[in-house]
Amino acid sequence: MQPTRKIVIVGGGSAGWITAGLLASEHGSAGDTGITVTLIESPDVQTIGVGEGTWPTMRSTLRRIGISESEFVVKCAASFKQGTRFSGWVDGGDDDIYYHPFSAPAGYPGINLAPHWQPHAERIGFANAVGTQARVCDRRLAPKQASTPEYAHVLNYGYHLDAGKFAELLQHHCTRVLGVKHLLDHVTGINGQPDSDIRSLATAQNGDLEADLFIDCTGFAALLLGRHYGVGHIPQDHVLFNNCALAAQVPYSDPNGEVESQTNSTARESGWIWDIGLSSRRGIGYVYSSQHASDDRAHDILRDYLNRSPGIDPSGIEARKISFSPGYRERFWHRNCVAVGMSAGFLEPLEASALVMIELAATMISEQLPANRESMDIVARRFNEKFKYRWERIIDFLKLHYVLSQRADSAYWADNRASESIPDSLAELLTLWRHQLPGPSDLAQVDEVFSAASYQYVLCGMGFQTRPRMSASIRNQRDQAGALFTDNERMTRRMLQQLPGNRALLAHVAANGLPA
């Protein structure tokens, strides 16, 4: 019945510091219920530091931790992200472009506009018909105005950020403002048997660190959950083939040039290229399958992309290779140890799910922090059930992009469409959606990682053929749908006139900040 008072987080980076920030801000050391949070990280281990895309959830995370949006944007070289533009994913043609924006379709979830859009699909793309954000992104416009308060929005948005600078900002805020204890030290041993709780961590310089709860943020190494407890890794390379990435930091040819308002994802013969615009530089990388392309071929494909990008000299750019094994742990919370970040799992960078899974895990730990050891196993079971479901749904959604592709230029795309590589859960949904377009009732949980709206953007954007019944309820919504389409056109014209450019708003934030 001893209360949970001491928490030790092993590992820094985004996973460690986001978790520390949410725990310390929610359970600060006030009164009898206060906790102490200690983060220990090795001075010799560098974080991967590539994850540069966030979801809109990051706004509420930063607000809960207590960081000013203006400070965050400036110190992390951040820019505003409004979704993803997919190029070449359907057939590789010049006009093969669609958007997955962050704003839901007009009227969602009260009305499903997809069946009302279908008769007009040849004239206007789905994202443009049901929202304004795709055309705002085409013009490189910001999602808010200079007078819009911090974290408020005109159009829904997340961020592109420098992952290394982000960890530094979180570290400074957590230690200086929230009272998190930070140790740069080596963990030399784990005190406790694999069939019992961890009592403490042996360290090189700080003795034994005791805690009631240990949080493993040690990345792919998974020192606590994987090595000590032997919790297995469930591989997903039979579904998601990508296991390598080449990542490069690319300077702007014109430091005052426009900044893209979305992540650009461009399909290539054995993977896809990300292109992310921060305020200070671009992050560009190629994600690929080593079974379908050699490292030399991957470098050639990335170099070709850089050659085709105006103002870039690829001869001076070095790409760093990162290898990974797509999959997730059999359990994420075992006894008094829980994994967050890549120690829990990693799939691939598509749709930027890595950071949001850190946010979701850290938020659930904070909100449902066990009062004592007796209740910890109950919380752990619920945590494991929730996150196993979430990992499986992310796999379905990522695989959807590959299954719907019609590309025939390599074995990579053909293999991705092979029936044996498609999860049964996704195959079932695709069968269902041949006759009805996705709606909230198609998904089991109210807090799905990817909503039915996200599935609509991908399915409609990639030309998935659905022949829904024109039921009475759909026919009765025709007038309402027509009004929403008309209002959307009017709203789009106003947004294109009133929203500032991304670069202009970032410059304003750097000079003046945003209203509190």
The residues facing 248 across adjacent strands are: 284
Q: Are residues 292 and 330 in the same domain?
A: no
- Whether pLDDT at 31 is above 60: no
Q: Determine contact, residues 15/314, Cβ cutoff 8 Å.
A: no
- Give the list of residues 6+ apart from residue 241 with CB closer than 8 angstroms, or none: 289, 291, 292, 412, 415, 416, 421
Closest by CA to 180, choosing from 22, 43, 403, is 22
The predicted structure's pLDDT at residue 44: 84
Average pLDDT, integer, range 33-37:
84
Q: Give residue 442's pLDDT band: very low, low, confident or very high (50, 70, 90).
A: confident
| pLDDT at residue 302 tops 90 | yes
* Domain encompassing residue 461: 79-159+423-498
Say how far apart CA 371 and CA 43 lie, in whole Å: 32
Q: Which of 68, 363, 28 is nearest to 179 (CA)?
A: 28
- Asked if residue 145 and residue 107 are part of one domain, the reply reads yes
Which pLDDT score is estimated for 2? 83
At 172, which CATH number? 3.50.50.60
Same domain? 254 vs 373: no
Q: Tell me, what's the pLDDT at 51?
A: 64
CB 270 within 8 A of CB 289: yes
Domain boundary, last residue among 303, 323, 343: 323
Q: Which helix (H) or strand (E) holds 393?
A: helix 373-403
Please indicate, yes or no, whether residues 255 and 319 belong to a single structural domain of this protein.
yes
Q: Is residue 35 part of a domain?
A: yes
195 inside domain: yes
Token pair 């105006």: residue: 310
Q: How far apart are CA 514 and CA 122, in angstroms?
A: 41
What secondary structure letter does DSSP report for 27? S
pLDDT for 472 equals: 81
Domain boundary among 392, 414, 441: 392
Do 150 and 174 belong together in one domain?
no
Helix (H) or strand (E) holding 79: strand 79-81
Q: Give the mean pLDDT of 356-385.
A: 97
Ramachandran assignment for 207, one of left (phi > 0), alpha (psi -120 to 50 degrees), beta (any other): left
**Predicted pLDDT of residue 224:** 98
pLDDT, one tens digit per residue, over 187-210 is 999 999 999 999 999 999 999 999
E strands, 96-186, are 97-101, 158-160, 181-184
Residues 150 and 170 in one domain: no
329-349 per-position pLDDT tens digit? 999 999 999 999 999 999 999
Q: Residue 203: enclosing H or E segment and its boundaries?
A: strand 200-203
Quote the tokens at residue 4: 């949970």
Residues 6+ apart with CB under 8 A from 236: 326, 327, 328, 347, 395
| pLDDT above 70 as % of the chain | 98
- The CATH number covering residue 285 comes to 3.30.70
- Average pLDDT on 167-175 reads 96
**Whole-number mean pLDDT of the chain?**
94
Residue 328 exposed, middle or buried by CB count within 10 Å (0-12, 13-18, 19+): buried
Q: How many domains does the chain have?
A: 3
399, part of any domain: no
Whether residues 170 and 282 share a domain: the answer is no
Write down the pLDDT at residue 66: 97
Res 440: pLDDT: 80
Kindly state whether residues 293 and 252 are assigned to the same domain: yes
Q: 445 pLDDT band (50/70/90 cuts)?
A: confident
pLDDT at 138: 97
Of 323, 351, 367, the last residue of a domain is 323
Q: Say what the pLDDT of residue 381 is.
A: 98
371 neighbors 5 (Cβ within 8 angstroms)? no
Average pLDDT over residues 316-320: 90
Burial of 145 by CB count in 10 Å (0-12 exposed, 13-18 middle, 19+ buried)? middle
- Domain assignment present for residue 63? The answer is no
pLDDT at 437: 84
| 463 torsion bin: left (phi>0), alpha (psi -120 to 50), beta (else) | left
Is residue 49 very low, low, confident or very high in pLDDT (cuts 50, 70, 90)? low
Residue 468: the pLDDT is 78
Identify the burial level of 173 via C-beta atoms within 10 angstroms of its C-beta, where 0-12 means exposed, 13-18 middle and 19 or more buried.
Answer: buried
Give the per-residue pLDDT at 400. Answer: 98
pLDDT of 479 higher than 60: yes
Q: What percent of the chain has pLDDT over 90?
A: 88
Instruction: Tell which residue, 78, 57, 81, 100, has the closest CA to residue 356.
Output: 57
If one compares 81 and 3, the residue with the highest pLDDT of the two is 81
Do 222 and 337 sit in the same domain of this protein?
Answer: yes
pLDDT for res 347: 97
Judge whether residue 389 has pLDDT over 70. yes
Same domain, 185 and 318: no
Say yes or no to pLDDT of 30 above 60.
no
**What's the CA gap between 188 and 207, in Å, rounded?**
10
Indicate whether 401 belongs to any domain.
Answer: no
Tell me if 217 is assigned to some domain.
yes
Structural domain includes residue 415: no
pLDDT band per the 50, 70, 90 thresholds, residue 385: very high
Domain annotation covers residue 25 = yes
CB 263 within 8 A of CB 352: yes
Each residue of 222-255: pLDDT tens digit? 999 999 999 999 999 999 999 999 999 999 988 8
Instruction: Read off the pLDDT of each residue in 128-153 and give the average, rounded to a whole number.
Output: 98
For residues 228 and 345, membership in a common domain is answered with: yes
Two structure tokens written together for 190 = 């784990």
Tell me the mean pLDDT in the region 300-326: 91
Strand partners, 181: 38
Q: For residue 29, what pLDDT is reported?
A: 59
In the three-class reduction of DSSP (H, G, I as helix; E, B as strand; rest coil), residue 305 is classed as: helix
Question: Within this chain, do residues 351 and 231 fall inside the same structural domain, yes or no?
Answer: yes
Mean pLDDT for the stretch of residues 447-453: 93
Global pTM?
0.96
Query: 412: Cβ–Cβ under 8 A, 6 or more apart, which residues?
Result: 241, 269, 270, 271, 289, 292, 293
